[in-house]
Structure 1
Amino acid sequence: MLTRLRVSGFKNLINVDVRFGPFTCVIGANGLGKSNLFDAIQLLSALADRSLIDAARSIRNVGVRPADIRSLFHLAGEHHGDNISLEAEMIIPGEGVDALRQRAVASTTFLRYAVTLAYRSDDSERSFGSLEILKEELDHINIGEATKHLLFPNKPNWRRSVIYGRRATPFISTEDQDDGCVIVLHQDGSGGGPIARSAGNLPRTVLSVANTAATPTALLARQEMLSWRLLQLEPTALRQPDEFTAASRLDTNGAHLPSALYHMAIQYARVMKVSEEEAISSVYNKVTTRLGELIEDVNAIWIDRDQRRELMTLYATDRNGTAYPARALSDGTLRFLALAVLEQETDAHGLLCMEELENGIHPERIPAMVRLARELATDTSQPAGPDNPLRQVILNTHAPAVIAQITADDLMIVENRPVDEKDPAARQITFGCIHETWRQKAQETVYTIPRNHLLDTLKLVVPGLSVLYVENEEEAAIKEEKTQEASDLQMPLFTLS
Structure 2
Amino acid sequence: MLETLAIAGYRSIRDLVVPLHGLDVVTGANGSGKSNLYRALRLLASAGDDTVIGALAADGGLSSTLWAGPETISRAMRDGHVPVQGTVRSGPVSLRLGFATDSLGYLIDLGLPKADGSLRTLFARDPEIKREQIFAGSLAKPSSLLVDRHGPAVRIRDGDWRNAGRALATYESVLTEFSDADTAPEVLRIRHQVRGWRFYDHFRTDPAAPVRSPRIGTRTPVLDHSGDDLAAALQTIIESGGQDRLDRAIDDAFPGSRLRVEGGDGLFQIELRQPGMLRPLGAGELSDGTLRYLLLVAALLTPRPPELMVLNEPETSLHVDLLPQLARLIVTANEDTQILVVSHARPLIDALQDAGDAHNHHLVKELGETKLEGQGLLSTPAWNWGTR
Specify the SS of the correspondent of 1:46.
helix
Check 1:220–1:134 CA distance in 2 against 1; reply closer, same or farther (3 A cut).
same
How many angstroms does 1:412 deviate by? 0.3
Tell me which residue corresponds to 2:204: 234
Aligned with residue 256 of structure 1, among 211, 216, 229: 229
Is 1:330 aligned to 2:276, yes or no? no
Tell me which residue corresponds to 1:112: 105
How many angstroms does 1:88 deviate by? 0.6
Contact 1:22 1:393 survives alignment (8 Å): yes
Tell me which residue corresponds to 1:222: 191
| CA offset digits 1:256-295 (Å, max 9, x no partner) | 11111223344x2xxxxxxxxxx5xxx3342122111111
Specify the SS of the correspondent of 1:75.
coil
TM-score, normalised to structure 1, is 0.62
How many angstroms does 1:213 deviate by? 4.0
Is 1:414 aligned to 2:371, yes or no? no
| Counterpart-to-counterpart distance in 2, 1:23 and 1:237 | 31
| CA offset digits 1:397-447 (Å, max 9, x no partner) | 222323332439511011112xxxxxxxx4521113599xxx9765659xx
Aligned ranges 1:134-283 → 2 under 5 Å? 134-141=130-137, 170-174=145-149, 182-185=153-156, 195-198=164-167, 201-211=169-179, 213-214=181-182, 215-232=184-201, 233-235=203-205, 236-245=209-218, 248-266=221-239, 268=240, 279=241, 283=242
Structure 1: unaligned runs, 5 residues or longer: 63-67, 92-109, 146-167, 269-278, 379-388, 418-425, 446-497
Identical-pair percentage: 20
Q: Give the AA of the match of 2:326.
A: M
Q: Give the AA of the match of 1:207.
A: L
| Counterpart-to-counterpart distance in 2, 1:311 and 1:187 | 52
Specify the SS of the correspondent of 1:139.
strand
Contact 1:377 1:393 survives alignment (8 Å): yes
| Counterpart-to-counterpart distance in 2, 1:125 and 1:194 | 29
Is 1:347 aligned to 2:304, yes or no? yes
How many angstroms does 1:359 deviate by? 1.4
Q: Give the AA of the match of 2:318.
A: I
Specify the SS of the correspondent of 1:203.
coil
Specify the SS of the correspondent of 1:7.
strand
| Counterpart-to-counterpart distance in 1, 2:173 and 2:121 | 27
Tell me which residue corresponds to 1:403: 349
How many angstroms does 1:185 deviate by? 4.4
Is 1:292 aligned to 2:251, yes or no? yes
Aligned ranges 1:51-62 → 2 under 5 Å? 51-59=51-59, 62=60
Q: Give the AA of the match of 1:339.
A: L
Tell me which residue corresponds to 1:151: none
How many angstroms does 1:342 deviate by? 2.9
> Where do 4+ consecutive residues of structure 1 move more than 6 Å?
77-81
| CA offset digits 1:49-86 (Å, max 9, x no partner) | 12442131344xx2xxxxx3321222237989711122
Check 1:50–1:404 CA distance in 2 against 1; reply closer, same or farther (3 A cut).
same
Check 1:323–1:211 CA distance in 2 against 1; reply closer, same or farther (3 A cut).
farther
How many angstroms does 1:248 deviate by? 5.0
| Counterpart-to-counterpart distance in 2, 1:196 and 1:72 | 33
Is 1:132 aligned to 2:128, yes or no? yes
Specify the SS of the correspondent of 1:32.
coil
Tell me which residue corresponds to 1:311: 267
Tell me which residue corresponds to 1:363: 320
Q: Give the AA of the match of 1:412.
A: H
Check 1:285–1:325 CA distance in 2 against 1; reply closer, same or farther (3 A cut).
farther
How many angstroms does 1:243 deviate by? 0.5
Aligned length: 348
Is 1:392 aligned to 2:351, yes or no? no
| Counterpart-to-counterpart distance in 2, 1:365 and 1:263 | 24
TM-score, normalised to structure 2, is 0.78
| Counterpart-to-counterpart distance in 2, 1:169 and 1:6 | 18
**Larger relative contact order (CA 8 Å, sep ≥ 6):** 2
Q: Give the AA of the match of 2:334.
A: A
How many angstroms does 1:230 deviate by? 2.3
Tell me which residue corresponds to 2:21: 21
